[in-house]
Amino acid sequence: MKENKNDFKPFIPADKILPEFTVTSVILGIILAVVFGGANAYLGLRVGMTVSASIPAAVISMGLIRVILKRDSILENNMVQTIGSAGESVAAGAIFTLPVLFMWAAEDSSIAAPSFLTITFIAICGGLLGILFMIPLRTALIVEEHGTLPFPEGTACAEVLAAGEEGGEKSNLFSQV
C-alpha cells in the first residue's frame, strides 16, 4: 500500500529546533568513520567482504552522546551515524577498486604504483561522486517512495535512534516478555 507523500509525518516536527550539525557530532562522526573505515578495509582486503557499520555507528553514537555527554538530540545522533557509515562506505569502495591499479603496475613496469596522495584523491573523488549522485535521487527514493521501498538497514538505524530518543524502553527485552 503506497502512502501518500502528504500523509508523511516526520519524527521531529518542522517547528522544533534541535542541534544537528555540531562540532561534537562531526568530530565523533569522523572518529567512527576512521575506526569503521579501517576495520572494513582490513576485513575487506583480508576476507574479501565488508560489513555494514550503520547500526553499530547508531548504537555507539547514541551511547556516547546520550549517556556520556548527557545530550538529547536524535538529529546529532543521526549525523554521527551518517558520517560513521560514510567512512565505511568509502573504504569499501576503495578496497574493491584500488588494488587493480597495483596489479596493473606490477604487470607493466612502465606504469607506477599509485602514491598515497593519488589513493586519497581517488577516495575523495569517489565519495564526492556518491554524494552528487545521491542528491537528485533523494527525492525519488526517500521522499516519494517513503513506505513502499524496503530499506531494512535504514529502518533498523532509525529504530535504534528512536529507541534511544524514548529513553531506551523499547530496547529492554525483559519488559516485553
pLDDT tens digits along 15-37? 888 888 889 889 999 999 999 99
One-letter amino acid of 22: T
**What confidence tens digit (pLDDT) does each residue in 39-63 have?**
999 999 899 888 888 888 888 888 8
Give the N- to C-terminal CA distance of the chain in Å, as an integer: 31
Are the C-beta atoms of 146 and 3 separated by less than 8 Å?
yes
Which burial class, exposed, middle or buried, applies to 160 when counting CB atoms under 10 A from its CB (0-12, 13-18, 19+)? buried
**What confidence tens digit (pLDDT) does each residue in 88-124 have?**
888 888 888 888 889 989 998 898 999 999 988 988 9
pLDDT recorded at residue 168: 56
DSSP assignments along 51-93, one per residue: ---HHHHHHHHHIIIIIIS----HHHHHHHHHHHHHHHHHHHH
Are the C-beta atoms of 40 and 84 separated by less than 8 Å?
no
Are the C-beta atoms of 80 and 57 separated by less than 8 Å?
yes
Average pLDDT, the chain: 82
- 3-class secondary-structure state, position 50: coil
Report pTM.
Answer: 0.76
Q: Where are the domains of the chain?
A: 5-167
pLDDT recorded at residue 157: 81
State which of 5-9, 33-37, 157-161 shows the largest mean pLDDT.
Answer: 33-37
pLDDT recorded at residue 1: 44
For the record, the C-alpha cell of 100 comes out as 587493480
